[in-house]
Chain A
Amino acid sequence: EAGVAQSPRYKIIEKRQSVAFWCNPISGHATLYWYQQILGQGPKLLIQFQNNGVVDDSQLPKDRFSAERLKGVDSTLKIQPAKLEDSAVYLCAIELAGAIDTQYFGPGTRLTVL
Chain B
Amino acid sequence: SQQGEEDPQALSIQEGENATMNCSYKTSINNLQWYRQNSGRGLVHLILIRSNEREKHSGRLRVTLDTSKKSSSLLITASRAADTASYFCAATSGSARQLTFGSGTQLTVLP
Q: Which residues from chain A sit less than 8 Å from chain B, CB to CB?
A: 1, 4, 31, 33, 40-45, 48, 56, 91, 93, 95, 100-108, 110
Contacts and interface: CB of A to CB of B under 8 A. Distances in A.
A105 B90 CA distance: 14
Nearest 9 pairs of A and B residues by beta carbon:
A42-B101, A105-B42, A105-B43, A107-B42, A1-B42, A43-B101, A42-B103, A42-B88, A102-B45
B39 to A, nearest CB: 11
A43 B92 contact: no
Contact of A107 (B31, B41, B96, B97): B41
Interface in B28-76: 30-31, 33, 35, 40-45, 48
A92 to B, nearest CB: 8
Interface of B: 2, 4, 30-31, 33, 35, 40-45, 48, 88, 90, 92, 96-104
Contacts of B40: 107, 110
A48 B41 contact: no
B100 to A, nearest CB: 8
